[in-house]
């Protein structure tokens, strides 16, 4: 038989997970539609779209689908996915924000002019001249300031869908067209029948003005929700001092002939490069410290003899600067406080610890809480439902009063279209999540996803490993096994957990006497000694069988079984990669007070989500009937007009974002 080569196909596909910017999303309907379309594509394992961040967290099989194919599919339904390296998302968003601001300012100019004419604050002639002037101003406003609403609404229509822009386009078009009809034919059609007629050019202008203003305020407020990511990104310098031997093309030196230091963009750095960092500067990439003997070639002996001290608090949470010796690890984003440091780069670009932390926070902010799934399902049918309610409102008014009530029917239908905005509902969950997860990152707590953030608050039992987690090991413990110190603030953290009603269990492989002594020092009421890895898992499962919601805290490979079994898994950032990979929450540094902090933050964030959703739903439940004219049935001749509907709609969206931002100022 001839020799035949066969391609080996892995049993399990290698999945990739990316956070990708999505342009063109304006409301909950948009984000739900983008997410639905992505999840329908073959090769995508899961996709979660975040309206606040304008991103999609996509897990996919690159052998079955490419990013370009995803982009093409989203383009068919009117959205853009930014996958090109030369397209800067921040620059795109900055230009979009400036354009939005300019249009909002211009729209206010048109609105003030139209309102001044409509309210007779200024006179431009008779009724006909006034209406024709408002028509021209309104048309200019629609073309320049409101054009995007119509473009997007048309794209949605040809693909059989609708979003918030559809409601804005419908309401402003109806207001403008009916007002235009009345301007030229009002007297002949309505006046001859004794019906008082009006124009609503002011409504068409004010709807666009308030919607644009609301979106502008949303964008400004949402910038605050992403402050944690920007702060992390700001830790990495743009350039580095690259040490070379002075020859052309040389990228480093390891001896004493290191006479040349060149300023290099960090994007050009490679593993193996020698980099110098001076006092007050941040370390650009991860690396290993070199000996300081060759610093004398371009620094004074006094400078070279100062031991380098590095502040790692922004990464680990440890407040004191740490002296670095030859062979020690240094991390991107940390700052040299004194001395001059030279190190050999080991990890650059997206492989540094800082880049990994940023990616974790971005992915967590882009993930969805379980409650958001319900909101998304509602959002998909919300706009069509609103259009149906608006049409029903129009028909009912005509049935009640006939053609005489046509102006009132149109006014009520337009008010319903405007006021029923799904934006507040769509922003309720992701804005709170972004702020909450960002706030956790500021406290050196890395939360893997939204589900983890929601689950932590339910914790009523906590199992904690002793060695390396509750206690610390400097070098004396290795030499003298009788020495083991309790971590600073460990007792305080355990007392805080007890005050919250959380029962704490300590697990240790040590003999009973030593384990009991540590448990007493830490104020932990329950402990188990001489346990094996499977015993830790058994304890977790035993507590779960008793109806407890269990969190497990560990730092080593021997904790991974228990971490995987727990309802919430928490790893120490100084522990093993295996523990951090399994864990849903990672504490950077060794301060165990971050555990009660994480639980408290989870409770506040989920509480904020519930607040936002409550007010978003109540807003629509209350305002839609008022806009439809329900008070008229009870003899109250009052309703929400299209102009006020647009103002309330904008306020509802902004209020949800501002409410979420309150989390930033909590301790």
Please name which of 526, 532, 550 lies closest in space to residue 540, comparing C-alpha atoms: 550
DSSP 3-state assignment of 369?
coil
Helix 28-40 vs helix 370-401: angle between axes, to the nearest 10 degrees? Answer: 120
Residues with catalytic function: 465
Instruction: Give the long-range contacts of residues 116-123, CB within 8 A, separation 24 or more.
Output: 118/199, 118/201, 118/202
CA atoms of 239 and 289, how far apart (whole Å)? 19
Q: Is the dihedral of CA 293, 299, 300, 304 positive or negative?
A: negative
Q: Which two tokens stand for residue 603?
A: 């409770």
> CA distances (Å), 617 to each of 428, 453, 603, 628, in order?
10, 23, 21, 17
DSSP strands (E only) in 256-352: 260-265, 274-277, 286-289, 309-311, 322-323, 329-330, 335-338, 341-347
Are 210 and 218 contacting, i.e. CB atoms less than 8 angstroms apart? no
Please name which of 268, 267, 285 lies closest in space to residue 276, comparing C-alpha atoms: 285
The residue assigned the tokens 């739900």 is 32
What DSSP assignment string belongs to 603-637? HHHHHHHHHHHHHHHHHHHHHHHHHHTGGGGGT--
Q: Is the dihedral of CA 425, 29, 51, 586 positive or negative?
A: positive
3-state secondary structure 44-111: EEEEEEECCCCEEEEEECCCCCCHHHHHHHHHHCCCEEECCCCCCHHHHHHHHHHHHHHHHHHHHHHH
Burial class (CB in 10 A: 0-12, 13-18, 19+), 431: buried
Number of neighbours of residue 454 by Cβ within 10 angstroms: 18
Are 273 and 242 contacting, i.e. CB atoms less than 8 angstroms apart? yes
Burial class (CB in 10 A: 0-12, 13-18, 19+), 346: middle
Are 47 and 56 contacting, i.e. CB atoms less than 8 angstroms apart? yes
First CA to last CA across the chain, in angstroms? 74
Cα angle 167, 372, 223; round to 5: 70
Whole-number CA gyration radius for the chain: 31
């Amino acid at each position: 038989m001839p020799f035949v080569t066969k391609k080996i196909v892995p049993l399990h596909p290698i999945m990739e997970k990316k956070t990708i910017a999505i342009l063109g999303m304006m409301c909950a309907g948009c984000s739900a539609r983008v997410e639905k379309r992505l999840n329908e594509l073959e090769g995508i394992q899961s996709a979660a779209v975040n309206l606040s961040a304008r991103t999609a967290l996509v897990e996919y099989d690159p052998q079955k689908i490419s990013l370009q194919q995803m982009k093409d599919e989203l383009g068919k339904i009117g959205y853009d996915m930014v996958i090109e390296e030369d397209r800067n998302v921040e620059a795109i968003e900055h230009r979009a924000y400036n354009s939005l601001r300019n249009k909002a300012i211009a729209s206010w100019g048109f609105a003030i002019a139209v309102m001044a004419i409509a309210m007779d604050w200024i006179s431009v002639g008779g009724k006909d001249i006034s209406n024709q002037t408002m028509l021209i101003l309104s048309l200019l406003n629609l073309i320049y300031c409101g054009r995007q609403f119509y473009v997007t609404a048309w794209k949605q229509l040809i693909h059989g869908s609708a979003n918030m822009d559809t409601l804005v386009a419908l309401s402003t078009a109806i207001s403008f067209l009916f007002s235009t009809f009345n301007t030229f034919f009002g007297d002949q059609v309505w006046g001859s029948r004794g019906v008082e007629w009006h124009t609503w050019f002011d409504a068409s202008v004010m709807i666009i003005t308030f919607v644009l203003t609301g979106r502008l305020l949303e964008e400004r407020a949402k910038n605050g929700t992403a402050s944690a990511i920007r702060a992390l990104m700001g830790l990495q310098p743009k350039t580095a001092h690259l040490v070379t031997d002075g020859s052309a093309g040389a990228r480093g030196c390891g001896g004493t002939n290191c006479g040349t230091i060149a300023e290099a963009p960090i994007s050009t750095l490679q593993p193996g490069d020698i980099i110098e960092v001076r006092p007050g500067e941040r370390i650009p990439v991860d690396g290993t410290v070199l000996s300081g003997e060759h610093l004398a070639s371009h620094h004074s002996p006094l400078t070279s003899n100062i031991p380098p001290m590095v502040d790692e608090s922004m990464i680990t949470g440890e407040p004191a600067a740490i002296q670095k010796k030859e062979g020690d690890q240094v991390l991107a984003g940390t700052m040299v406080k004194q001395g001059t440091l030279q190190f050999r780069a080991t990890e650059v670009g997206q492989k540094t610890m800082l880049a990994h932390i940023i990616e974790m926070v971005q992915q967590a902010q882009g993930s969805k809480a379980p409650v958001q799934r319900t909101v998304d399902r509602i959002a998909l049918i919300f706009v069509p439902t609103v259009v149906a309610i608006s049409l029903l409102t129009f028909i009912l008014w005509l049935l009640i009063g006939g053609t005489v009530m046509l102006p009132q029917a149109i006014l009520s239908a337009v008010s319903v279209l405007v006021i029923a905005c799904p934006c507040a509902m769509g922003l309720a969950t992701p804005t709170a999540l972004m702020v909450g997860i960002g706030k956790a990152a500021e406290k050196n707590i890395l939360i893997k996803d939204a589900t983890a953030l929601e689950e932590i608050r339910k914790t009523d039992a906590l199992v904690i490993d002793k060695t390396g987690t509750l206690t610390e090991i400097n070098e004396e413990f290795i030499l003298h096994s009788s020495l083991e110190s309790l971590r600073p603030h460990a007792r305080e953290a355990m007392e805080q957990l007890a005050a919250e009603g959380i029962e704490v269990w300590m697990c240790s492989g040590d003999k009973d006497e030593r384990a009991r002594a540590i448990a007493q020092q830490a104020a932990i009421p329950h402990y188990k000694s001489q346990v094996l890895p499977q015993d830790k898992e058994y304890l977790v499962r035993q507590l779960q069988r008793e109806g407890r919601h269990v969190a497990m805290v560990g730092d080593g490979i021997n904790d991974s079984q228990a971490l995987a079994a727990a309802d919430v898994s928490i790893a120490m950032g100084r522990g093993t990669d295996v523990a951090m990979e399994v864990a849903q929450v990672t504490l950077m540094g060794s301060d165990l007070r971050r555990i009660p902090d994480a639980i408290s933050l989870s409770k506040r964030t989920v509480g904020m989500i519930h607040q936002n959703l409550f007010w978003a739903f109540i807003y629509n439940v209350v305002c839609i009937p008022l806009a439809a004219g329900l008070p008229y049935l009870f003899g109250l001749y009052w309703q929400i007009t299209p102009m006020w509907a647009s103002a309330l709609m904008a306020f509802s969206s902004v209020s949800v974002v501002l409410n979420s931002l309150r989390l930033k100022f909590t301790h």
